[in-house]
Amino acid sequence: MMMAGLRERKKEETRRRIAGVALELFAERGYDAVTVSEIADAAGVAKVTLFNYFPSKDCLALDGIHDDLASIVARRPPGQTPLDALRAHYAALAADGPRDVARMLAQVRVIASTPVLMAGVYQAHMGQRHELAAALRDTAGSETAAQLMAAQITAVITTVEEAFFQRLASGTPLEEAGRMLASDVELAFDQLQDGIGKDKS
């Protein structure tokens, strides 16, 4: 059992190292100018090993951008609503803050400057939305209601994340940006919970 856990940790370390090397090369030279072979060489792994972790080049650049909202909803404790589960998840993320701000901002810049990666983000968000809709189907009451709920939730989360990235990119200190993110998360889920059409005065 201990050996299995060690193997998993080593696999995760290798995966993180490959993704980190790839991001450094993308940030330095541009996504299109870097080959998978160059990434494998720089990371000290065989090309086949790289593909065992990342099936395509774009997966290296988009690593970690897809939050598994459907799993958060599916794994929620009995009696907790889907929105409460998602609120708790994002409130915890806001409290913890990113582990590596420089890496996160470098990834955002690489993606924003590369049309094929922006398309990949869009596809990832579409997949995320459909998966979330499937997880919400039992509580939403209908297929259409589930799709509408998923669309609203994913749009709100994306907007909150973009505001956080923009603050960091403009030089807002991490601690201040984190406080603002926590406030945004509460506002976002309050509006999702209560409906944006209600009078807040």
In angstroms, the CA 103 to CA 136 distance is 33
What is the reported pLDDT for 99? 76
What pLDDT is stored for residue 49 in this prediction? 94
The answer for residues whose C-beta is within 8 angstroms of residue 186's C-beta and 6 or more apart is 87, 91
Q: Are residues 42 and 81 in the same domain?
A: no
For the chain, the first-to-last Cα distance in angstroms comes to 58
Task: Specify if 141 maps to a domain.
Answer: yes
pLDDT at site 138: 86
The dihedrals phi and psi of 189, each to the nearest 5 degrees, come to -75, -25
Asked if 56 and 76 sit in the same domain, the reply is no
If asked whether residues 48 and 76 sit together in one domain, one would say no
Q: What is the largest CA-CA distance in the chain?
A: 61
Tokens representing 41 are 């060489």
pLDDT given for residue 101 in this prediction: 85
Number of domains, the chain = 2
CA distance 201 to 193: 17
pLDDT at 4: 61
Please give the pLDDT value at position 8: 83
Mean pLDDT per block of 10 residues along the chain (201 residues) reads 71 92 96 96 95 94 88 93 95 86 89 93 90 92 92 94 91 91 95 67 42
The pLDDT value given to residue 1: 54
Residues 121, 182 within the same domain: yes
Domain identity same for 128 and 188: yes
In a domain, 105, yes or no: yes
Q: Which residue range forms the structural domain that includes residue 51?
A: 2-60
Q: Say yes or no: 30 and 117 in one domain.
A: no
DSSP for 98-139, written as a single string: -S-HHHHHHHHHHHHT-HHHHHHHHHHHHHHHHHHHHHHHHH
The model carries a pTM of 0.81
pLDDT at 107: 92
Q: What is the pLDDT of residue 91?
A: 94
Do 30 and 78 fall into the same domain? Answer: no
- Collapsing DSSP to helix, strand or coil, 44 comes out as coil
